[in-house]
Copies of this chain bind each other. A is one copy, B any other.
Amino acid sequence: ARPRVGYFYTGKSGVQLLTENLNKLVVKDYQSIPVVVNENMSVYDAIVTMFLEDVGTLFVVDQQSLLVGVLSRKDLLRASIGKQELTTLPVNIIMTRMPNITMCSKEDLLIDVAQKLIDKQIDALPVVKETDKGFEVVGRVTKTNLTKALVALANND
């Protein structure tokens, strides 16, 4: 039978198509550039870095540039109302450290990252590349990236 104009075969509902489209999105197409700091940096300098770089999450690396921690705005705010002197307190005292860091790779599905951010109640994940020595930070995925993905889908981008 010849296809008629305006008809096409799918057998799928709009909702199924929506789900399929969402499940095609991968991290590498939506990630941002990561901002990393050294584990010996002071909490004060980390806060300044956060403002200068205008990000909500910093990734902490060791001398070999391997991921050792994550610092959120919440972590820094908590430290800032503590009793300690911020200019001498190193970030490695207050950071979330390995193995408690939730990570992803650039080939992961964006929707799986969204689920992880919701489950763990965090704002951002490091995108990492595994090496023999540990994890290198190659990107950052945030709730902002996910919000932008939602807007792009709505705009047919």
**A interface, CB within 8 angstroms of B:** 6-11, 14-23, 44, 47-48, 50-51, 54, 56, 73-74, 76-78, 80-81, 86, 111, 114-115, 117-118, 121, 123, 143-144, 146-151, 153-156
Contacts and interface: CB of A to CB of B under 8 A. Distances in A.
B9 A6 contact: yes
Contact of A114 (B8, B23, B50, B147): B147
Nearest to A149: B150
B17 A14 contact: yes
Contacts of A118: 144, 147-148, 151
Copies of this polypeptide in the complex: 2
Chain A facing B: main interface SS: helix
Contact of A22 (B44, B50, B123, B150): B150
A78 to B, nearest CB: 7
Contacts of A147: 114, 117-118, 143, 146-147
A148 B111 CA distance: 10
Given A7-B9, A14-B21, A15-B156, A151 B77 contact: no
Nearest to A79: B80
